[in-house]
Amino acid sequence: MENALDKLSDVLSPIAFKLDSNRYLTAVKAGFFGAMSLLIIGSIFLLFANLPIESYPGFMEGLLGADWKSYFQVPYDMTMEIMTPFVMIGMAKSLANYYKVDDIGAILISLVAFFVLTPTITAANEARGIPMLNLSASGLFVGMISAIIATEIYRLVIQKGWVIKLPDSVPSNVARSFSALVPGFIVIVLFNFIRIGFSLISYETAHAFIFEILQTPLLALSRTLPTTFIIFIFEGLLWSFGIHGSNIVGAVMNPIWLNLTAENATAFASGTALPNIINAQFYNNFIKVGGAGATLGLALCILMFARSEQYKTLGKLAFVPGLFNINEPLIFGLPIVLNPIMMIPFLLMPLVMSGLTYFVMSAGIVPYANGANIPWTTPPIISGFLLSGWRGGAWQMVQILLSAGIYYPFFRIVDQKAYQLETEGTESVEQVEEGAVQATQPTEA
């Protein structure tokens, strides 16, 4: 078993390290981490407009009038519905810092490049604007590609020295503005040619092309259960070798899952049927109950049934973080990492949770997650209630008990071994002490 684990580690570790150190994936992570607070705030306003309480709409209508939902719609629209520019800001800043060029210039030029590719609309009164659809999750892939290409051109031009240089006596903020003129001009000209090129073909816009050729197939593939199984197995294997699997998988999958989440949020806000079972909340709140590997049940087992002193202590330390889906104390303290016994349920649990949750949602037993982008640290049962009503909370309670039942026989093996070692160690110490006492006693002549 140890040889097999070593060989698997030799295969996975280089792949994981390359993915984790990839500057573009790092930029994607930075973009979503930077925008996450705004997305959560927008989701809170969405929840305020749609709390799963029967008497709530009537109460709010009596308090604020028939149009009461509109008071919560604007904050939601200005956060969740225009997420793409927020994500782009973090991405451009991350790439600029990687190349050690001016991040403000990279951010501004990336946004301009994206807006050049984004179509405008004209109303009957000649008012012009940008469709919010292209600023929402639907435009996310165009925004991410624009941020990467624009920042790459920006840093390449600067590193080549093709910039306007002013004397040292000129204030730095003025000099910085002029240094961005040439790279900014090149980026805008290039992206304008791209826009013109798309206008000459059937797709008409870059947004339509990317959405149909790239985004739609990826979304369709990510909605399927087999794809979800593959993702969870890969994530679990990385964790099992001490590599932060959630960060690596999230860098690739978050743009797709958040797009699916946004589709649910839009449908939920408009009162239409929710389209997606699998989305960011399915992953964060209904599969990772207690963290990667659905380990809250394991933390409960350790707290209630541990016999060895080391695991009794670990149970007290790990249970409270587990309530907030933080399970590093278990992964590295039990440990699960490189532990052949505990790796089995750790890899099995996400498959069980995703399969059963997909079934109960598709069967209508539990409602789909409503698209509210609640923090991943929201405790189970509470998160289930916010996302899928009381049935969501009840299902998470079942998940915790199921997790405990699956983890228990495996934990019992490692706990029994630890207890035996502790007992044998105590007996050895007692025997040594007893022998020492006997040696000091006088013997009869």
| 309 & 376 share domain | yes
User: Total structural domains in the chain?
Assistant: 2
Establish if 121 belongs to a structural domain: yes
pLDDT of 148 reads 95
* Of 112, 376, 191, 202, residue with least CA distance to 104: 112
pTM > 0.95: no
| 107 & 230 share domain | no
Question: Which structural domain, as residue segments, surrounds residue 286?
Answer: 1-23+223-433
Establish if 48 belongs to a structural domain: no
| 277 & 359 share domain | yes
SS3 (DSSP) at 113: helix
pLDDT of 427 reads 54
Of the residues 189, 221, 253, the one at which a domain ends: 221
pLDDT of 114 reads 96
Of the residues 181, 206, 221, the one at which a domain ends: 221
Inter-CA distances, 146 with 27, 85, 151, 404, Å: 13, 11, 8, 46
| 149 & 273 share domain | no
The residue to which tokens 């743009």 are assigned: 255
Establish if 423 belongs to a structural domain: yes
| 172 & 274 share domain | no
The residue to which tokens 């960011």 are assigned: 280
| 236 & 216 share domain | no
| 127 & 139 share domain | yes
Establish if 7 belongs to a structural domain: yes
Establish if 155 belongs to a structural domain: yes
| 193 & 256 share domain | no
Regions in the chain scoring below 50 on pLDDT: 429-430, 432-433, 436-437, 439-440, 445
Establish if 231 belongs to a structural domain: yes
131-136: list long-range contacts, CB under 8 Å, 24+ apart.
132/77, 132/81, 132/82, 134/84, 134/207, 135/81, 135/82, 135/83, 135/84, 135/85, 136/80, 136/81, 136/82, 136/83, 136/84, 136/262, 136/266
| 335 & 363 share domain | yes
pLDDT of 1 reads 53
| 196 & 243 share domain | no
Of the residues 203, 221, 239, the one at which a domain ends: 221
DSSP string covering 46-89: HHHHS-S-TTHHHHHHHHH-TTTTHHHHHHHHTTGGGHHHHHHH
pLDDT of 436 reads 44
pLDDT of 435 reads 52
Establish if 240 belongs to a structural domain: yes
pLDDT of 408 reads 93
